[in-house]
Amino acid sequence: MWMRLTASYKRRPPMRLLTKMLIGLAVMGSLTYVYYTEVKPVVIFGLRSDYAHAIPYQEVPQGLASLKAESCGACHPDIYNEWRTSIHAQAYDDPFFQAYWTKDKRIWVCLNCHTPLENQQPTLIKAIPRDRVERAVQEPNPRYDSDYQREGVTCAACHVREGVILGPYEDAQAPHPTKYDPMFRTTQLCQRCHSVVGGPAQFYNGGPCGTYTEFEDGYWSKERGYICQTCHMPEIERPVAVGGPVRTGRRHLWRGGHDPEMLKRAIDVKISAEPTEPKPGDRVRVTLTLTNAGAGHKLPTGDPDRHFTVEFAVRDQSGRILKDQSHTMGRWILWQPAIVELYDNRLMPLASREYPFEYRMPREGENQTLSIAVRYHILTERQHQMLIDKYGLTSPAPYHFTLYEREVPLTGNLVATLTSSPPPIHVACSKQGPSSM
């Protein structure tokens, strides 16, 4: 009996050890609570002073009926009609923004870029204690215009300050106050919203949406003199306003990562193959080379979810896949418990990368075809389904499109077939609404 009691006692941890374990668990719990409430931001970016607050409330300049874009369009119809097709005009209504914003519990800070004017926001931010966006001191905005909010990045967001219309011309004459602002001729114009920084416990290589900081300070800027507007607001000769003189202005389109034609101009695809004429039993090697030939920033850029895929597949006569291979180009990010950018294989400006594919031809000489595709994705299919299931996304298809596609027989002169001009691809963007930005 004594022996059994002694053995039972030895199996129980001493009271002192239990106390230490409980204290350890309490400390870990406290540290975890402090980490998530006082250290780690509740959104995937940190705050910077210029976008931590909305652009201050703007009065209607003398001579204008209102700040709404339609009012500006009365005298600037070409610019207005271009803006209407842009992602800037859809920045608030865009179904993907609405779904992601719902996921982020519709937190106010996202509006500072998607509806940047105080006139467009339902609350006023009076203070942001310790830069914790969830603790911001808010009060109702008595001058909030819900209709105006739906204009997203509207004309006044860039052009109206303190009752004056700002612009890139020193000699402008108009029925409203005007002022020349040299910022319109620099990349600085785009910095506020296209250079979002990381925050505490967020270890990005340049921020989550850092297109502005990615713009290389070499060939495109120094040798060619490019700024953001060179590609995204191309120059055009026309009257800026009805009845005005013809002058060099810019189109207000902002085409970019949501526009397949813009991406086709940025990315260059070349194909090589050996042997030239494969025979039964030969090992065929096809190499696809991607070059960032037309963008002054990394490809892809912007939202961290964006990525390219390079896909190869060999099929038999019945369409059965005999061998396939896929590569991804983008960013790999660990989101919890801290944000850590693990890997980034995006293309720098003018950089190239080769994607090889090898396949041994069958000895029987059966007819087979090789298909090659380069596709661009705004998000993964899994993320898309998650947004539909949990956050009310109304766009029924994943947002992606094909930039390059070939299907060739593995017979005859393979090199000549692969290097001939590919048939044109009709790209139908699967997102609802206009294709832009």
**What is the 3-class SS of the chain, one letter each residue?**
CHHHHHHHHHHCCCHHHHHHHHHHHHHHHHHHHHHHHHHCCCCCCCCCCCCCCCECCCCCCCCCCCCCHHHHHCCCHHHHHHHHCCCCCCCCCCHHHHHHHHHCCCCHHHHHHHCCEHHHCCEEEEECHHHCHHHCEEEECCCCCHHHHCCCCCHHHHHEECCEEEECCCCCCCCCCEEECHHHHCCHHHHCCCCECCCCCEECCCCCECHHHHCCCCHHHHHCCCCHHHHHCCEEEEECCCCCCEEEEECCCCCCCCCHHHHHHHEEEEEEEECCCCCCCCEEEEEEEEEECCCCCCECCCCCCCEEEEEEEEECCCCCEEEEEEEEECEEEECCCCEEEEEECCECCCCEEEEEEEEECCCCCCCCEEEEEEEEECCCHHHHHHHHHHHCCCCCCCCEEEEEEEEEECCCCHHHHHHCCCCCCCCCCCCCCCCCC
Q: Are residues 232 and 283 in the same domain?
A: no
> Is residue 308 situated within a structural domain?
yes
Q: Are residues 212 and 264 in the same domain?
A: no
Q: Are residues 309 and 205 in the same domain?
A: no
Give the residue from 250, 270, 291 where a domain finishes: 250
- Note down the domain range covering 332: 260-419
Which pLDDT score, from 0 to 100, does residue 150 have? 97
Q: Are residues 321 and 355 in the same domain?
A: yes
437/434 Cα distance (integer angstroms): 10
Number of domains composing the chain:
2
118/370 Cα distance (integer angstroms): 55
Q: Are residues 264 and 388 in the same domain?
A: yes
Mean pLDDT per 10-residue interval, the chain, length 437 residues:
49 76 85 86 93 96 96 96 97 95 96 98 96 95 97 97 95 93 94 92 90 83 92 96 94 94 94 89 94 94 95 93 96 94 95 96 82 95 93 85 92 83 52 36
Which pLDDT score, from 0 to 100, does residue 12 have? 61
Which pLDDT score, from 0 to 100, does residue 429 have? 41
Which pLDDT score, from 0 to 100, does residue 436 have? 34
199 contacts 47 by C-beta, under 8 angstroms: yes
For residue 329, give the CATH number of its domain.
2.60.40.10
> Is residue 390 situated within a structural domain?
yes
Q: Are residues 219 and 286 in the same domain?
A: no
> Is residue 17 situated within a structural domain?
no
pTM higher than 0.75, yes or no?
Answer: yes
Q: Are residues 320 and 385 in the same domain?
A: yes
> Is residue 148 situated within a structural domain?
yes
Q: Are residues 125 and 238 in the same domain?
A: yes
194/257 Cα distance (integer angstroms): 12
Give the residue from 207, 228, 250 where a domain finishes: 250
Which pLDDT score, from 0 to 100, does residue 367 have? 84
Residues contacting residue 192 through CB under 8 Å, at least 6 positions apart:
50, 51, 113, 116
Q: Are residues 192 and 107 in the same domain?
A: yes
Closest to 31 (Cα-Cα) out of 21, 41, 23, 20: 23
Residues contacting residue 169 through CB under 8 Å, at least 6 positions apart:
178, 180, 240, 247
> Is residue 434 situated within a structural domain?
no
Give the residue from 250, 283, 316 where a domain finishes: 250
> Is residue 296 situated within a structural domain?
yes
> Is residue 265 situated within a structural domain?
yes
Which pLDDT score, from 0 to 100, does residue 352 have? 97
90 contacts 395 by C-beta, under 8 angstroms: no
Q: Are residues 78 and 183 in the same domain?
A: yes
Number of other residues whose CB lies within 10 A of the CB of residue 213: 14
Which pLDDT score, from 0 to 100, does residue 103 have? 95
419/27 Cα distance (integer angstroms): 64
Q: Are residues 205 and 283 in the same domain?
A: no
Q: Are residues 195 and 215 in the same domain?
A: yes
> Is residue 305 situated within a structural domain?
yes
